[in-house]
A and B are shown apart, each in its own frame.
Chain A
Amino acid sequence: MRGPQRPMAALAAALALLVAVGGIGVAWADDPINQLEDVTTNQDVPTDETGVVDPSAKDDGSDPSGTAPTDGVGPESQGSAGAADGPAGVAPPKGEGDDPAQNADGEASSEGTHGEEAPMPPPLPDPVFGGGVSENNLMNPQQKPDSSFIYDTSIGALQEADSYLNNQIVQVTGEVVGDRINAEFNPGFCWIVLQGNDKGRSEVPVFIAKDATDGIDTYGAYGRRGTMLQIRGIFYLSCPEHQGLTDLHADTVSVVEKGSVTEQVFDIGAFLPGLGLVVLGTIMILVFHRMREGQR
């Protein structure tokens, strides 16, 4: 990763710690199929409880605004409201139009439900003037209202997408796999592949600015688990810009978790059974030829 001074590195490290506590296994190499407990969806991306509607108090699917503030770039959000941090590197969450009002409501209910279960959440920032914003607050109170509706979904759902998702803004989380492929007709852009954690390991090609890929430290392959990204952008079932390809044009990219490389240890012991079998087989061949010679 370039530019160790980048605040994103610190954020990524903090998130990595949080997520690791959440139970994401490190050893993935041998058994991809049974790693279903590794599910990382938007719901799993850790959020601060303050001001967020408790998912269990409301319907998950019907309330994207409940997870919209959980972009995973919290401390950046209020700092970067004005200052951009690269074209698409870190961006303030595009909340819904009624965000502040929603959170005011949510705060009341979540405080109510959380009272028994968890310690008192820290005080909320002033929704209008933004004062008292804490480092962990992932919501940007300066955010302008945005009327577009965001589908917070999974890559598996995109794979099965029906036409209702066409041209919609979606938000998905997944692992970067494969290579970064230069876009053939757009010089500053490239393609990456995002893979979901569902059983079928669904994938979606993502059209993204090259600068935005700087945050990717590992590309998933054998023995390597790629960087986990959360990407928000427009999903096309048959992209008009790309001759009908099903793709996702990335708007906002954030690193959820850094990738990892699993070292393969050379163990001569692992080769012994194979060697033994080969030797045995070779002996059988030789015996056969000896017997055949005898027959002539």
Chain B
Amino acid sequence: MARKRPDIKPASPAAAFALMLLSIVSFIIALWTLMALTRILLGG
């Protein structure tokens, strides 16, 4: 039986959207980091 994962329930739609936006921005920054590392490691 799968354990029920606790749901994150922010107070309002605005907070929810903010969280979503924040995750997207963090994702973009993470991708930059990944690309920078790749470029450094593989750069000729």
Is A in direct contact with B (CB under 8 Å) within the complex? Answer: no
User: B residues bordering A, Cβ < 8 Å?
Assistant: none
User: A residues bordering B, Cβ < 8 Å?
Assistant: none
